[in-house]
Structure 1
């Protein structure tokens, strides 16, 4: 487990990036099986060839799951996820595309229900190998405020 990072230690504008991952046909088939989403845009090559995309596209929910998973490199014992807002599937992801997640702290606020916590909002942008944004969402984290004796960084 990683060291705790407290609310006061998050800096608006700070960024980090995830490792990369190439999307495969197997990813799409497995995701369809897990979710029951066998929509032909994802799993039927002949159908998809006649769409505006010209080929199969990855499920948006799969891109979200993989993209957010890529960004979850460290366990912060002082933080937990409150959820995601403003999720958008900006561009299609195709078999063979390589994605990466860029994370930027965009907002900090006190938690209105828990005075010992704050909320940190991170903009998560999943980009493809061409640097094009394919998915964006705002991840809200509930983060413990630093206890007495812990150095606070602003």
Structure 2
């Protein structure tokens, strides 16, 4: 993991980065269920799930979100921190054995409404499966220090 100092003024709309793949496993689903207490049959009961719309167990939406965001965290920016997430959409079910890749694109820059020394960077994150189908979309917001306020 790299450490960088990237200020608000260093971000450009349209800048994009992409990850390598990560396969979702049954272990991922079981661990996530244990961490969250979400043992709903859609995730845990293979027999019941076989009778439902997806025909098999599917990953928790919050698992997919966590994995996708984690996949984009290849560097620590000492001038920024996560401010939240907007417009989270679980577009398609993720099954055991699906391999996700993630792209993250800078899609917005704005001043912080109350803190002159910070700006807000909007990064649209899209996770796709091995078939190139989008499974998750969200906007990750970062609060970033402005260079001229150091």
Band the TM-score falls in, shorter-chain normalisation: over 0.9
Structure 1 position 115 matched with structure 2 position 112: no
- Give the paired residue count: 149
Q: What's the counterpart of residue 14 of structure 1? A: 15
2 CA distance for matches of 1:42 and 1:70?
22
1:82 Cα shift?
0.4
1:147 Cα shift?
3.6
Q: Is the CA contact (8 Å cut-off) linking 1:18 and 1:73 kept in structure 2?
A: no
More strand by share: 2
Q: Is the CA contact (8 Å cut-off) linking 2:4 and 2:75 kept in structure 1?
A: no
Q: Normalising by structure 2, what TM-score?
A: 0.96
Unaligned runs of 5+ residues in structure 1 are none
Cα-to-partner distance string for 1:18-73 (whole Å, 9 max, x where unaligned)? 22110000111111111110100111000000111011000000000011001111
Cα-to-partner distance string for 1:92-117 (whole Å, 9 max, x where unaligned)? 00000001111010000011111011
Q: Following superposition, which runs of at least 4 residues in structure 1 exceed 2 angstroms of deviation?
A: none
2 CA distance for matches of 1:130 and 1:40?
26
Aligned CA-pair RMSD: 1.3
Structure 1 position 64 matched with structure 2 position 65: yes
Unaligned runs of 5+ residues in structure 2 are none
Q: What's the counterpart of residue 3 of structure 1? A: 4
Q: What's the counterpart of residue 105 of structure 1? A: 106
